[in-house]
Amino acid sequence: MWRATVFTLFPEMFPGPLRVSLSGEALSRGIWALNVQDIRAHGLGRHRAVDDTPAGGGPGMVIRADVLGASLDGGIDQDDKRPRLLLSPRGAPFTQTRARALASGEGVVLICGRFEGVDERIIAARHLEEISIGDYVLSGGEIAAMVMCDACVRLLPGVMGAEDSHIEESFEAGLLEYPHFTRPRTWEGYEIPEVLLSGDHAKIKAWREAEALRITQERRPDLLKRS
């Protein structure tokens, strides 16, 4: 079973949207498991403090290394081989390739940052890898953790209705996906391209490949430079 363990200051946010649609059905069927750990359970003092002011001054607060370290040590086994990923805007970009790699493993440990971030020492001491879902800043890592879980879970065997339905999706071949159409044939003056109604599978395949390339060139030329 693929397992996701999430460390957060807001455990009530989970499973959230992960309880519905493909991920929710897979969760209820036991294809994957979600374990949520409350970092504040290891907070200090009567008020369960988890943060403190930044060394050297500056705005905001920083999650303490001792608190987060105790939470990690209490929530996962020392010999747990799953990747330990800290959701952070300065992390490496999360991609479809990484989602596929994570989905092929045992699961993932996700640490949701808050405030100004976490004490840098915990990253080194607990071998955390920083990862980002985009070039913007969220209030915390919880939504990013849900995004990553959803992206991975849908790739697990038995989750999607057709096992090959993801093969031609965006990013799978370094291109964005080609356009899709369905009935009615004509809608508000817009027609389905004739080639898609021809029954000629070779022509349809060629049209889709050409459209995928065209859309990628127009919208994400950076993807073509990577290939």
Segment 180-216, tens digit of pLDDT: 999 999 999 999 999 999 999 999 999 999 999 999 9
pLDDT score at 225: 87
For residue 161, being part of any structural domain is answered with no
Count CB atoms within 10 A of the CB of residue 202: 8
SS3 of 167, please?
coil
pLDDT score at 168: 57
Q: What is the extent of the structural domain holding 100? A: 2-153
Q: Do 143 and 176 fall within a single domain?
A: no
Percent of the chain with pLDDT over 70: 96
> Does the pLDDT value for residue 162 go beyond 80?
no
Tokens describing residue 72: 């990690």
pLDDT in tens, 113-139: 999 999 999 999 999 999 999 999 999
Q: What CATH number is given to the structural domain containing 204?
A: 1.10.1270.20
Count of domains for the chain: 2
Residue 118, classified by CB atoms within 10 Å of its CB into exposed (0-12), middle (13-18) or buried (19+), is: buried
Residues sharing a CB contact under 8 Å with residue 226, sequence separation 6 or more, in sequence order: 174
Q: What is the rounded distance in angstroms from the CA atom of residue 15 to the CA atom of residue 24?
A: 9
Q: Do 142 and 190 fall within a single domain?
A: no
The mean pLDDT value for 137-166 works out to: 89
Q: Do 221 and 196 fall within a single domain?
A: yes
The mean pLDDT value for 77-84 works out to: 96
For residue 160, being part of any structural domain is answered with no
Position 167 confidence tier, pLDDT thresholds 50, 70, 90: low
Average pLDDT of the chain is 95
CA 178 to chain centroid: 23
> Does the pLDDT value for residue 163 go beyond 80?
no
Task: Please report the sign of the dihedral spanned by the C-alpha atoms of residue 95, residue 100, residue 103, residue 109.
Answer: negative
What's the angle, vertex CA 21, arms to CA 165 and CA 37, rounded to 5?
A: 115
Ramachandran class of 107: left when φ > 0, alpha when ψ lies in -120 to 50, beta otherwise:
left
Position 161 confidence tier, pLDDT thresholds 50, 70, 90: confident
